[in-house]
Amino acid sequence: MFKVEENRTIYLDDKGNILGEVDYPYISSNVVDVNHTFVDISLRGKGIANLLLTHAFNYFRENNIKVKVSCSYAIKWLDNNREYQDLIITN
């Protein structure tokens, strides 16, 4: 289950344990910095990070939020998900 909380999107198991997350603190009223992506070792290689980032970027689009990206994984992910380039700011 994916859940959006303040400054992050998380992936929870059926007991509410966090198994993955994308952190994005606000740097202004409508700009976040995607600065960290984490997936529990038990789920790595199963596409969870992709799902987390897709969920987060869809949330950003739906809420008119622009994105700075400082997480190395997210930077690489964006190379393969160019449909989100309109949300990216470079400053």
Per-residue buried b or exposed e for 36-65, using 16+ beta carbons within 10 Å of the residue's own CB? bbbbeeeeeeeebbeebbbbbbebbeeeeb
Domain count, the chain: 1
Q: What is the pLDDT of residues 22-58, one digit of tens each?
A: 999 999 999 999 999 999 999 999 999 999 999 999 9
Q: Please give the pLDDT value at position 91.
A: 66
Which residue range(s) make up the domain with 52? 2-87
What pTM value is reported for the model?
0.92
In the chain, the amino acid numbered 84 is Y
Task: Find, among 23, 26, 29, the residue nearest to 10 by Cα.
Answer: 23
Angstrom distance (rounded) from CA 14 to CA 64: 30
What do you get for the CA distance between the two ends of the chain, in Å?
33
